[in-house]
Structures are given as structure tokens and as C-alpha cells.
Amino acid sequence: MIRASRTRDRVLALVFAAAVITYLDRVCVSVAAPAMQKELGLSQVEFSWVFTAFYIAYAVFEMPASWLGDRWGQRVTLVRIVGWWSLFTVLTGMVRNYWILLATRFLFGAGEAGAFPTLSRALARWFPVHERGRANGLMWAGARFGGAVSPVLAALVIASLGWRASFVVFGLAGLLWVAVCAFWFRDDPAEHRSVNAAELEVIRIGAAPPPSAQDKVPWRKLLLNGDLLLLAATYFASGFGFQFFVTWLPTYLTNEFGLSTRQSGFYSSAPLLAGAAGCFLGGVLADWIARRTGSLLWARRLVGAGGFFLGAAGYAAAIFAGSPEFAIACLVCAAGAHDLTLPVLWATCTDLGGQFGGTASGFMNLASSLSGMLAPYTAARLAEAFGSFNSVFYVAAGVYVIGGALWFWIDPRKPAIT
């Protein structure tokens, strides 16, 4: 009997690397924020629009970019996406005034739109249904790992070379990934020379056929599907609570506890490292529960709802923090517990979307982009109105409770497109 090759694991490593670089480039700006505000003369509320500009573009272009991922294929789309955002990451380090900064971050967001739906769609084509929880978990673990190391790396580069150099370094890493993807990756496992017949048979378990150029997206069925709408609402809650970790956390630590840029950068990495662990464990746990119980429904619901409720508890505890150590411990719990939910969110979305899984994921991710637009500005206003970020923690905890409750009405077993 021929032993199955494991080329899909190398594909997963490539997806993991893309997710790492995505958050390297996205989180770097939050660490550089104090230095950028000082040099460019920007207030906290003004700089909140730098974060928001990214999410406005990300939201506007998310659905078209995800649709193109289904239409053109993942390889071409990912080369375009990662190449675009890497270029504008480099250009961020060259801005000289506020309006050019806003335009650059807007175009950065436009380029990154569609990245995770397209990556998730690639995983759906390369992994059998019973391995997709783990695969999506590792993808999001990569995103959180990138977010975790970004504050540390950015703080070191900023301390040594200045904030501008950090964007150049991280942008070049993305361009290297583009070269590897263009040369090695293939959309269809059957077209990859390293995949043998035994592995191809494993991959095709539960696989949906790719849409052809003639297939029209059934927009009505997708956008009016009750489970997909609830999943999008859940992801809105997810994005709203998570944004604090990649926008205002370093500023909170600096303002509340008087930490330096380097100290706040190191502390800020801890919740995102916890999130990386949560992403991996959430995918493994959901697949394990499904195998042990035979119930995909309750495997996804238990992990999804449980992660949100525990995340809410972590945010609520952070309200009482009197030291940076206690604050980070609470936020580590909030981030790690919440990120248990990401693998089941994305695996459920690609399952519901079937052959249009990328487009469905783009719709779900659009909801997170909308909350990403609102969250940084809302947090800045709350912090200014109440004099601290504790008010932000109250709101984030409440939003997470709502997100957890929604899971009990979502059924991952009923695809929107049959």
C-alpha cells in the first residue's frame, strides 16, 4: 500500500507564514503609534483614524477580493494581496504628514482585504473535512504569533533604527513570501507534483468542487442564509473585542502604568501569544470533540460559545488591574480564551459556503472589518470620556457575552449552497 504524501502540511506551513506576516505588518503600527504621534503631532483621536482608515478599506474591498479568490484561484489572488500590502507597509515608513499617512494605511487595507478568506479557501481545497479545524486553527495561530512577535520586533527596531525602519523590514518579509508562493503553490492538489494518489484520495474527503468561470455566486442564498448571518454577527463581536489588542494595548500600558515603548511592546506580545495557543487548541479541541461524540454541531458550539464567555471574564477582571502584570494576566486570559473560537468560526464558514467558501468567508470577515472600523475610535472616545480604558473593558466583555450566546443558534451542518 502506497503511503500518502504530506504535501498539505507544507501548504499549511505556507499559510501559517502568510498569517504571521499579515499581523507583523498590521500590529507594527500600534507599537510605533506613540513615536509616530509625537513626530507627526497627532492626538489620540486623530491617530485612531489611522487604525480606522485600514478597516474602512478592508471592509469596502473584502467581498470583491474574496470573490476574486474564488474566481481567479487562490495562488494568483494571494500573490496580488500579499505583494500589495507589503508594498504599502514599506511606504508607511516613508510618510511625512497626517493625510499621506491616512491614504497609505487606507491603501494598505485595500490590499490586505480578502487575505484570510482566500487562505481559508485554500485550506478547504487542500484538507479533508475532518482536518479543517486543526488547519484553520494553525492559520490563526500564525496570525496571533505574528501579532505577538510584532510588538517585540518593532520595539527593538524602533529603539535601534527608528519607527520608519520597522515598516521597511516587515514589508520586505512579505515580498519574500510572494516569491515562494508564486513558484511553489498550486490551487489544485492534483496539479502539484509532490502530491501522490494516496494523499489526493485523503484530501478529497468532503471536498467541494472549485467554482468554474461560468458559475455565478448565489448571492441571495448566501446573504440571506440564517446561519451565515448569525456567524457574521458573531464575528462582528469577535472583531470588536479583539481590536484592543492590536490597536490601543501599547498605549494603555504606557498611559496607565508609565511603561516605555520597549516595555509596552514586550508586554503587548503576551495576549497575542496566548491567542496563538488558543487558536491551535481550539481547532484541535473541536476536531477531538467531533470525533469522540460524533456531533459536529456541539463540537463547534461548545468551543465557540465557551471561548467567548471565558474571554468576557478576562476582560471583566482587567477592570480591577492595579499593576501592568495583573492587567496583562487578565488580558492574556481574554485573548487566549476568545481565540479558541477562531478555528470553529472559519471552518464553519467554509463548510456553509461550500464551493463559494471564499466568498462566504469574505462576507463573514466583512462583519469583523466593520467592527474593526468602529472599535478603535469607540475605544479612544470612551477612554477620553471616562479617563481610562476600563470603560473599554466593560463594553468588550458585554460584546463577548453576546457573541457567545449567538453560537447556540448556529448550525454548521446545513450548507447555504447545496
The 8 Å CB, 24+ separation contacts for 389-392 are 389/244, 389/248, 389/252, 389/256, 390/318, 390/319, 392/244, 392/248
Residue 102 CB neighbour total at 10 angstroms: 18
For the record, the C-alpha cell of 150 comes out as 510584532
154-165: string of b/e by CB count within 10 Å (b at 16+)?
bbebbeeeebbe
112-138 tens-digit pLDDT: 999 998 998 899 888 887 788 889 889
Q: Can you state the angle between helices 74-92 and 115-126, rounded to 10 degrees?
A: 150
CB 367 within 8 A of CB 66: no
**What is the structure's pLDDT at 147?**
78
Number of domains in the chain: 1
- Cα 59 from Cα 109, distance rounded (Å): 8
**What is the structure's pLDDT at 176?**
95
- Cα 365 from Cα 272, distance rounded (Å): 19
CB 185 within 8 A of CB 79: no
CATH of the domain at 275: 1.20.1250.20
233-271: string of b/e by CB count within 10 Å (b at 16+)?
bbbbbbbbbbbbbbbbbbbbbbbbbebebbbbbbbbbbb
Q: Is residue 2 assigned to a domain?
A: no
| Polymer length in residues for the chain | 418
**What is the structure's pLDDT at 260?**
84
What pTM was estimated for this model as a whole?
0.76
Q: Is residue 266 assigned to a domain?
A: yes
**What is the structure's pLDDT at 215?**
63
Domain span at residue 376 reads: 7-206+219-409
Q: Is residue 214 assigned to a domain?
A: no
- Cα 338 from Cα 412, distance rounded (Å): 19
Q: Is residue 229 assigned to a domain?
A: yes
Q: Is residue 414 assigned to a domain?
A: no
Q: Is residue 1 assigned to a domain?
A: no
Q: Is residue 417 assigned to a domain?
A: no
Q: Is residue 94 assigned to a domain?
A: yes
Regions of the chain where pLDDT drops below 70: 1, 206-215, 417-418
CB 132 within 8 A of CB 109: no
